[in-house]
Amino acid sequence: MTLQQFEYIVALDEYRHYVSAAEHCYVSQPNLTMQVKKLEDEIGVRIFDRDKKPLQPTKIGKEIILRARQILRESKQLKEFVTHEKESLEGEFTVGIIPTLAPYLLPLFLPDFIRENPKVHLKIRELQTSQIISQLENGIIDIGILVTPLEESSIREIPIFYEPFLLYLPENHRFLEEKLMLADDLDPSEVLVLDEGHCFREQALSICSDAKHGSSIGFEYQSGSIEALKSLVKRGVGYTLVPELSINSDKEDIHVRRFSAPEPVREVSIVVHNSYIKESVIDRLKSSIQKNVPDQLLNKQEVVSLDWK
C-alpha cells in the first residue's frame, strides 16, 4: 500500500465519483480505479460498495478511509517538519575540522558566520580525517571540514575551495632564484613533512614522490604542526610544502615559491553523513567560507587536485 493509494480512496470518499476523484488527483480515471482495486486486493477487503449509487464506502471501508486520512495528515506534518529542519538556522551543531585547516581557515570566516547567524551555536573540534569520518558515521559530530575526495559511500562531499600547495624555503636558498617551481626539482630527502595520520602529509609526499634524490639533511623530523616545520625552515633546515592560507604574505613572501601550472591543490570540502538534512546550515557555512577566502582559491582552472588516499 502507498500514500498515493490512500489519497485516491480519500478523494473517492469525498467525491463519490471515479471521474471527479481522478480529476482532483490529476490522474486518469482508469489509473485511479486500478490503484484502488490493487489496494483492496492487497488488504483483502472491499473499501467501496460499487453496487450503490452514488458510490458508498463499506462498513470496514469507512474505518480504512479514516485511518488513511490520519496517515496522510501525519505524512504532511512529517514533510512540514523536515522542511522546517532543512530551512531552520538555529540550534547547536558540532563541527570537526582537520588541524592543517583549523588555525588558518577558522579566523577568516568564523567571526562573520557568528555575527550573521546569531541563533546558531557551533561546537568546533580539531580532529584528523579518520576521526571525522568515524564520528560522522556514529552521529557524534554533524559536519566536517576537511580535504577530499574521501571515497566513502556514507559521506556526502560539498567542495568549497581549492587551496594551492606552496614551497616554503629558507632565505638565500637556490630555489628562490626561480619564479615558478617544478615538482621534479624537489629533493625528497630535504623535504620536511607532517607526521602520519595527516592527509596533508600524503598529498605533500605525492608532489615529490617522483623527484630526484639528493643529499640528506642529516635527520628525519615529522611534526604535527605546519608552523613548526616553517620555523625549522627559517633556521635553514631543509624546506617544506605548506597550504596557501598558512602564509602571512606581508612577512613570508621571501620564503615562498609557487609551482608552475597546473598548480597542485588540495580540495577543501564540507562533508556530512548522507542522512544529514540541515541544508540551510551547510549552505550558510559554504557561503561564509567562500566569501572570506581569497578569490583565487575558488577558481579550479589550471590546477590539479591531489588525491591523498
165-186, pLDDT tens digit by residue?
888 888 888 887 777 777 777 7
**Domain containing residue 136: CATH number:** 3.40.190.10
Structure confidence at residue 262 as a pLDDT band (50, 70, 90): confident
- Specify the pLDDT at position 218: 46
Task: Note whether 155 and 133 are within 8 A (CB).
Answer: yes
- Specify the pLDDT at position 292: 96
- Examine the domain organization and report whether 123 and 44 are in the same domain: no
Mean pLDDT of the region 58-71: 94
- Examine the domain organization and report whether 253 and 280 are in the same domain: no
- Examine the domain organization and report whether 59 and 70 are in the same domain: yes
- Specify the pLDDT at position 202: 63
Residue 143 grid coordinates: 559536519
Q: Which of 60-69, 83-92, 104-113, 195-204 is predicted least confidently?
A: 195-204
Sign for the pseudo-dihedral over CA of 13, 15, 17, 23: negative
Average pLDDT, the chain: 85
Count of alpha carbons within 13 angstroms of residue 61, beta-carbon side: 18
185-218 pLDDT per residue, tens: 777 767 777 765 556 666 666 666 544 443 345 4
- Examine the domain organization and report whether 252 and 171 are in the same domain: yes
Residue with the larger pLDDT of the pair 80 and 138: 138
Mean pLDDT of the region 19-26: 94
- Specify the pLDDT at position 165: 87
Q: Which of 62-71, 120-129, 184-193, 210-219 is predicted least confidently?
A: 210-219
273-308 pLDDT per residue, tens: 998 888 889 999 999 999 999 998 998 776 666 665
In a domain, 307, yes or no: no
Mean pLDDT of the region 111-115: 94
The answer to whether the peptide bond before residue 54 is cis (omega within 30 degrees of 0) is yes
**Domain containing residue 38: CATH number:** 1.10.10.10
Residue 263 has pLDDT above 90, yes or no: no
Residue 277 grid coordinates: 538534512
Give the count of domains, the chain.
3
- Examine the domain organization and report whether 156 and 287 are in the same domain: yes
- Examine the domain organization and report whether 70 and 106 are in the same domain: no
Structure confidence at residue 264 as a pLDDT band (50, 70, 90): confident
Structure confidence at residue 78 as a pLDDT band (50, 70, 90): confident
In angstroms, the CA 279 to CA 300 distance is 24
Task: Note whether 10 and 2 are within 8 A (CB).
Answer: no
- Specify the pLDDT at position 33: 94
Q: In the block, which residue shows the cell 567562500?
A: 290
Residue 86 has pLDDT above 90, yes or no: no
Residue with the larger pLDDT of the pair 162 and 202: 162
- Specify the pLDDT at position 215: 37
Phi, psi (deg, nearest 5) at residue 272: -140, 160
- Examine the domain organization and report whether 40 and 134 are in the same domain: no
* End position of a domain, from candidates 70, 85, 100: 85
Residue 309 has pLDDT above 60, yes or no: no
In a domain, 309, yes or no: no
In a domain, 107, yes or no: yes
pTM: 0.70
β pairing state of 143-148 and 91-97: parallel
In a domain, 184, yes or no: yes
- Examine the domain organization and report whether 238 and 291 are in the same domain: no
Task: Note whether 191 and 208 are within 8 A (CB).
Answer: yes
- Examine the domain organization and report whether 251 and 295 are in the same domain: no
- Examine the domain organization and report whether 258 and 172 are in the same domain: yes
What residue numbers bound the domain in which 24 lies? Answer: 3-85
In a domain, 45, yes or no: yes
- Examine the domain organization and report whether 153 and 273 are in the same domain: yes
- Specify the pLDDT at position 204: 63
33-47 pLDDT per residue, tens: 999 999 999 999 999
- Examine the domain organization and report whether 169 and 260 are in the same domain: yes
Residue 254 grid coordinates: 621571501
